[in-house]
Structure 1
Amino acid sequence: MNLKKRIPLVLALSALATSCASTPSAGASASSSGLTLKEQGSFAVGGTVVTAPGTFDPRRPSAEGATLHGDHAYVFYQVPADARPLPLVFWHGAGQSSKTWETTADGREGFQTLFLRRRFPVYLVDQPRRGKAGRSTAPTTVPATPDDQTWFGMFRIGVWPDYFPGVQFPREPAALEQYFRAMTPNTGPFDAEVNASAVSALFDRIGPGVLVTHSQGGGPGWLVAMRNPKVRAVVSYEPGSGFVFPEGEVPAPMPSLTGSLEATGVPMERFLALTRIPIALYFGDNIPEEPSPIPGQDNWRVRLAMARLWRDAVNRHGGSVTLVHLPELGIRGNTHFPFSDTNNVQIADLLSKFLADKALD
């Protein structure tokens, strides 16, 4: 990351929340303490420019000869004082934006601040055609469909209107209100290649770092890791689609109540890039091993199963993929958003340990 062209700044930030649900580890300061940054900022990266035929006439403005800048990512970054060398790049999932990593629905510190306290530079991404990167070069229709209850189930908070017993989600109505209001639509068709190109351009700009993805961001994340050697590791929370296998080794589609999950084949030379970096996958609770009549749970049954096959494929070819199913560690009740659940400090500690074990901190 070239800091010479940027104006450094020092900001003392008060805490984003007054309490944490868990006691912070030795690597994290208490949430009541201040936080010193040496710089922060935002920028667009990647994208394309479309130019319409003709000549633009400023006296009679029209589309003729005009340009459209779109399909870029929006990035907000913060660099703490005494920063560690490798930044963490946080990439959201479907229906989400960089808000995913910010303050939790019940007002606690999210991964953005928890890892700033652990001295990591953090980069929060809004992928192309989402959130603050909403300018798209391809049109779409944004529906206004009532679907909060569907997402409640798909994100494994419970089976509406009931919460799962012991779920690590705050029960205050105001928290659920904030959770639903974090949803944001696509402003153009979802395109994994468009997204991967923009995030790869981010790594070209900032240099080596660790990519942290969630859900739908997991698939394009593999594409970035295969094309850009500046991605030194990938940590993926509940990647649900876009799994890539070597050509000739693609598993059969996996049917579920929410549709059939299919993987993609790529040339072996591309796939092998995934074997050269450490990768960790984390999955939460309430994911059944057998078919379920509940769509939100059956959906994640096949996605966890596909993730296990993907782990085995990468490791079979010499890779280093660790898949952590949190209940197997005795960590129970986590939703599709473990990094913002009520035990998110405990989840952050697992990420810190992974980074330390792989000499990435």
Structure 2
Amino acid sequence: MSIMVKSKSIFLLFFIPFIFSACKSDRQNEMSQSLVIREQGSFSIGGTKKTVPGEFNVSNALDSAGQTFHGDHAYAFYQIPEQSRKYPMVLLHGAGQSKKTWETTPDGREGFQNLFLRKGYSVYLLDQPRRGEAGKSMVQATVSPLADEQFWFTQFRIGNYPQYFNGVQFPKDPASLEQFYRQMTPNTGPFDGKVIANAVSSLFDKIGESILVTHSQGGGPGWMTAIQNKNIKAIVAYEPYSGFVFPKNELPKPIKSSGLFGELVGTEIPLDDFKKLTMLPIIIYYGDNIAKNPSKVWNSDHWRSGLEMARIWAATINKYGGDAKVVHLPEIGIKGNTHFAFSDLNNIEIADLLSAWLKEKGLDK
């Protein structure tokens, strides 16, 4: 595959090798074609600034008096294809992840970044405040080298470590698993949904009307961003868990689970704010190996509670005239997906499914 980056006066051609199996589908063959990028770049967005009282003294430059500290911004990397559609896609990662989650998959295939560039969408990849390349936190934290990767293997439903789920859409070679472990990224400050939503909202102020795609923990800040910014044309959420908001006095009962994080609880917000979520189409996707009924298999039961809460939430949105839909992939015949459907072995199928929904909603112009 070759990627061509074009500007007004400079033509750059990058050759990125990918190894494919001998049996390629027509769609996989398309991946070997040149991808022409008209513009790309990066910037920080949002955040706050602290100024220490006093006067800066160049002779004592290590003293903080009179100096500033910028932090709690988001970081955005963007690419605009040569023939771009009207609405860009903004991709916000989940817990323990960064913008890397949308890039090349652990086994070297194209992720959502390139798949949607090929479909003609401009793509903005975000690192949320206090994560990845937006690591300057306004709040102090300690990053510890905690050994927990087998927990994440299990939590993210690749399998029940060390066993993979039967038919799982995750590559089973050791190199891919190592790549997956190495893309985990620590917080440099406490998770704060409001801080994230403020920074993401600043991005939508800058780029205008766009589609927001969230993953997992990014779901809650996604709802909050849509409440405060009318430039969000739609929300696509992959496996949100925490952060579901409900109108005041309509909070559902906590959903108990054998998962390691206890019961799942929603959050009350004013009805007027909640109604803002009814003004745009929303779709939520969940993968496979989620329990249908309460189970002692903690990872499957954890995500059962998330799926159940999502269905209650979507029904509440629709009760107020909204357009929210929850899609459980196995129920429509797409099986084996993990918590990362957008980078699983069948991510082309997952991307095509999303494309069809965008077309249905008139967002593919």
Amino acid at match of 1:306: M
| Correspondence for 1:37 | 37
1:317 and 2:320 correspond: yes
Alpha-carbon shift at residue 63 of structure 1 (Å): 1.5
Deviations 1:179-232 (A, max 9, x none): 000000000011000000000000000010000000000000000011101000
Give the aligned residue type for 1:23: S
Paired residue total:
354
Counterpart contact for 1:24–1:345, Cα < 8 Å: no
Give me the identity figure in percent: 54
Equivalent-residue separation in structure 1 for 2:178 and 2:231 (angstroms): 38
Give per-residue Cα distances to partners, 1:235-279, cap 9 Å, x unaligned. Answer: 000011100011110111122232121111111111111101000
Residue aligning to 1:152: 153
The residue that corresponds to 1:23 in the other structure is 25
How far 1:291 moved relative to its partner? 2.0
Distance 1:119 1:324 in 2: 24
Q: Is the 8 A contact 1:14 1:35 kept in 2?
A: no
1:73-115: CA deviation from partner (whole Å, max 9, x where unpaired): 0000000001111000000000000000000000000000000
Matching residue's letter, 1:282? Y
Checking the alignment, whether the CA contact within 8 Å between 1:95 and 1:186 is kept in structure 2 is yes
What is the aligned partner in structure 1 of residue 111 from structure 2?
Answer: 110
Q: Give 1:71's aligned residue.
A: 72
Distance 1:149 1:125, change over 3 A: same
Match of 2:3 in 1: none
**Unaligned runs of at least 5 residues, structure 1:** 1-5
Aligned counterparts of 1:208 and 1:22: Cα–Cα separation in 2: 36
Are the structure 2 counterparts of residues 10 and 52 from structure 1 closer, same or farther at C-alpha, using a change threshold of 3 Å? same
2:208 counterpart of 1:203: no
Once the 2 structures are TM-superposed, how far is the Cα of residue 17 of structure 1 from its aligned partner?
A: 3.1
TM-score by length of 1: 0.95
Q: After superposition, give the CA deviation of every residue in 1:21-68 in whole Å (9 maximum; x if it has no partner).
A: 97365xx97111111111000000000001122222121121222111
Displacement, 1:10? 5.0
Query: CA RMSD of the aligned region, Å?
Result: 1.6
1:138-196 deviation digits (Å, cap 9, x = unpaired): 00111211001000000000001000000000011100000000000000011000000
Are the aligned partners of 1:168 and 1:335 in contact in 2 as well (CA < 8 Å)? yes
Q: Does 1:270 align with 2:273?
A: yes
Corresponding residue for residue 119 of structure 1:
120
SS at match of 1:255: coil
The equivalent position to 1:345 in structure 2, one of 343, 348, 358, is 348
Change (3 A) 1:250 1:120: same
Determine if contact 1:9/1:40 at 8 Å carries over to the other structure.
no
Partner SS for 2:46: strand
When structure 1 is superposed on structure 2, of 238-247 and 11-20 the one drifting more is: 11-20
- 1:302 corresponds to 2:283: no
Structure 1 residue 234: Cα displacement: 0.3
Mapped contact 1:245–1:265 kept (Cα < 8 A): yes
Contact 1:75/1:126 (CA < 8 Å) preserved in 2? yes
Distance 1:35 1:325, change over 3 A: same
One-letter amino acid matched to 1:212? V
Give the AA of the match of 1:45.
I
- 2:163 and 2:251 map into 1 onto residues whose CA distance is 38
In the superposition, the TM-score normalised over structure 2's length comes to 0.94
The one of 315, 333, 357 aligned to 1:354: 357
1:281 aligned partner:
284
Distance 1:9 1:320 in 2: 44
**Residue 3 of structure 1 corresponds to which residue in structure 2?**
none
Q: Deviations over 1:261-304 (max 9, x none)?
A: 11111111111111010000000000002222222222111111
Report the residue type matching 1:253 in the other structure: P
Q: Secondary structure at the match of 1:156?
A: coil
> Aligned AA for 1:125?
L
> What is the alpha-carbon distance in structure 1 between the residues aligned to residue 173 and residue 51 of structure 2?
50
The residue type paired with residue 153 of structure 1 is T
User: Does the aligned pair in 2 maintain the 1:288–1:301 contact within 8 Å?
Assistant: yes
Q: Which runs of 4+ in 1 moved over 4 A?
A: 6-13
Structure 1 Cα separation of the partners of residues 187 and 173 of structure 2: 29
**Does the C-alpha gap of structure 1 residues 8 and 301 become closer, same or farther in structure 2, counting only changes over 3 Å?**
farther
